[in-house]
Amino acid sequence: MGTTSVLIIGGGASGMIAAIVAARHNAEVTVLERLDRAGRKILATGNGRCNLTNMHCDVSHYHGRSPAFAASALDHFKPTDTLAFFDDLGLLCREEDGRRVFPISGQASAVLDVLRFELDRCRVRMVCGSRVKRIEPDRNGFSVQTQDGTTLSGNRVIIATGGKAAPNLGSNGSGYHLAEELGHHCVEPVPSLVQLNLPLPFLKQMDGVKVNGSVSLNDGERDLRTEQGELLFTSYGISGIPVLQVSRIASERLSVGEPTFLDIQLFQGLSFEKIVSIIEKRMLDRPDLALDAGLIGFFHKRLIIPILHAAEIRPPRKLCKELTVEELNRLALILHRWRVPVIGTQSWMRAQVTAGGIDTAEINPEAMESILVPGLHFAGEIIDIDGDSGGYNLQWAWSSGYAAGLHAARR
């Protein structure tokens, strides 16, 4: 049997590792990348430092209609395999808080550089500025047509085009259409790891305020997910890693019109009763001070007016001694658990990852191969699997790309 030719559509993280693995197994590999340079999204990960993986990586950190789908690929190419792979390419890494792994150099560009060097060494043909229009099965495998009229032939095809998040970095959802033309179905994509829009009246005043607290995504009756850490109020609503972590659920609920709330806890470890006692003492100690001045030093002063407004305490300039018991309890309740409706998310341009994608029920989890179209493989974010913040999404790219490249080369 002759050499297997593999066409990979998409030159992101999953596409590049798939290309390297396939080439190492003696396949002739061509990567078709839409942008003028491959791997742009890698440069933006981890705030420019590239959070390569997380050493505490299991399916509990992944989401989709069937998160268990990810187990096979993650078991066959673990975080330790990721470290060994990059160590072999000359990239030294270190583990940081939360078991996240970064290059010692602190440069995402180093990750992209070593991948590109290895692609060159493996003689992978990289065609940038190539927009794929159609994939057609034929008797030899597949023919892939690009928008400029070029047709390429390959025994196997790997679609690694990403989702819809950060379209300026290469992912514009084009892979969904290619897969759907071949009979696949797509779970409706929504933004994930994205900031949330809140209908608060003082957001401009609150913009830039940081608080160590927690957030709970709520359906009005029960908490759906709770995360803690640094919160950042913005001109549109709220950001911070805890917010990004709960945003997937918010996006899904908002996409079908389900009521969604964010409970913001400004004080970690303080009970409602403790907050009441703190306010009571401050009011007693500062009876003739204006209420907004009397709260300075308790929490960020740029939050005082918005919180008094949320607690329906007007005017804010009333004296501390004039605060009623009912008003005190309302104020304590907001400080303990401030419930705000979520009215939307930021755009795809600001989302870090896509939730949704090609239905995993139509893909073999071991080979990442289509059950509907033999010889067609998928890798990375295009599949209906997405991870939490902290290196999990890049690990999914490495693991799924490794599986797709390995099995495509084996023909």
Mean pLDDT of 276-280: 97
Q: State how far the Cα of 138 lies from the Cα of 209, in Å rounded to an integer.
A: 58
The dihedral over CA atoms of 136, 141, 146, 150, expressed in degrees to the nearest 10, equals -120
pLDDT digits (tens, 9 = 90+) for 340-372: 999 999 999 999 999 999 999 999 999 999 999
Asked if residue 28 has pLDDT above 60, the reply is: yes
Cα separations in angstroms, 224 against 216, 229, 230, 307, 387: 7, 17, 19, 24, 17
pLDDT of residue 1 exceeding 60, the answer is: no
| 57-61, 105-109, 202-206, 316-320, range with the lowest pLDDT | 316-320
CB 162 within 8 A of CB 381: yes
Write the burial class of residue 380 (CB in 10 Å: 0-12 exposed, 13-18 middle, 19+ buried).
buried
251 within 8 A of 355, measured Cβ to Cβ: yes
Cα dist from 309 to 42, 64, 271, 387, whole Å: 43, 39, 22, 37
Q: Tokens in use for 200?
A: 């608060």
The set of residues, in sequence order, having a beta carbon less than 8 Å from that of 315 and lying 6+ positions away, is none
User: What percent of the chain is predicted at pLDDT more than 90?
Assistant: 94
The stretch 371-387 carries a mean pLDDT of: 98
Mean pLDDT for the chain overall: 96
pLDDT reported for residue 2: 66
Position 269 scores a pLDDT of 86
pLDDT tens column, 393-408: 999 999 999 999 999 9
**Average pLDDT of span 320-329:** 96
User: Torsion over CA of 74, 78, 81 and 85, rounded to 10 degrees?
Assistant: 50
pTM score: 0.94
- Set out the domains of the chain in order of their start, with CATH numbers: 5-191+353-410 (3.50.50.60), 195-345 (no CATH)
CA angle 322, 323, 325 (to 5 degrees): 130
